[in-house]
Structure 1
């Protein structure tokens, strides 16, 4: 396994993994028509934009399999110092189905914590996870994340029809990422 910072040419691979992960884990909260239709194009637009002009306020780290034919097996995207109270936002963390429970997610969240420690103005980090995604909640809790709030899920791209009803998400926090790095 190798890790590196994403570049613009990685947008397609990241978008494909992101859409696939949403299709597997967000079904029920996100509308099937969106997941089975526009999700990939929507994620492609988001990632092409994010990676076209990367800023000093965010970082996207990729995990790649040693065999180059496999490519991206996971990624994490961090927005540094996103919130005055909660710190830096882990906006996305996704791992391919075949690599879950293999240490990729742990390696990625650790790299996110290092980026926050090294580049953030505060050592705090947080993320949002769908209330229905109890598997991810268990992953974050096992790495020291604590639940600290609940809000309604914002619709992807601001389009309300992309949601089923009013799903909720939970905020998980790490008040000091050094605990995650030394834990």
Structure 2
């Protein structure tokens, strides 16, 4: 019987998390990040980042979604990251083969639950590239509000694209408890 399960990530998960992160960047960030960066060895760079994050997860939590024991998505939250906006949903990625199956919705709800359980405040937010309209629709349908636009020079950014530095939108949820309830 096939089943979807969730668990906290550990250091032993760094490689598979990094691989999904790199695949997601390649799929969704083309045009904002330089092709040379996306076509390069970003998996190695992401492995370094995720090994460090998962080796010392102080003030953070990474939750994996697995389908029959294989990673299909993850979310990473940095608690109380900003005094105004709250906890940062720093990453939420789902393999393309599992998009629109509810995995992202459940990961966002689990992130919200973690915020209500571990953070000082209940607010949470994230940044999404302006060109990533599918993700924006998902976050807005999940009760988030677009509250700000900012320039964000990404790794491997290509300032000749998108009329200069790519833009990101801050999506905010003032009360993560409502996200959690909304997603059940």
Compute the TM-score of the two structures, normalised by the length of structure 1.
Answer: 0.93
Aligned match of 1:90:
89
Q: Once superposed, what is the RMSD of the aligned Cα atoms?
A: 0.8
User: Aligned partners of 2:153 and 2:166: how far apart in 1?
Assistant: 9
Q: Higher helix share goes to which structure? A: 1
Counterpart check, 1:16 vs 2:19: yes
User: Aligned partners of 1:90 and 1:121: how far apart in 2?
Assistant: 15
User: Aligned partners of 1:124 and 1:53: how far apart in 2?
Assistant: 24
Aligned match of 1:28:
31
Deviations 1:30-69 (A, max 9, x none): 00111110311111110011111221x1000000012x3x
Aligned match of 1:146:
145
DSSP-derived class of the 2:48 partner: helix
Return the offset for 1:23.
Answer: 0.2
User: Aligned partners of 1:117 and 1:75: how far apart in 2?
Assistant: 18
Aligned match of 1:159:
none
Compute the TM-score of the two structures, normalised by the length of structure 2.
Answer: 0.93
Aligned match of 1:170:
169
User: Aligned partners of 1:181 and 1:45: how far apart in 2?
Assistant: 31
Aligned match of 2:162:
none
What is the count of residue pairs matched by the alignment? Answer: 174
Q: Which runs of 5+ in 2 are unaligned?
A: 160-164
Q: Which runs of 5+ in 1 are unaligned?
A: 157-161
Return the offset for 1:13.
Answer: 0.1
Runs of 4+ in 1 over 2 A off after TM superposition: none
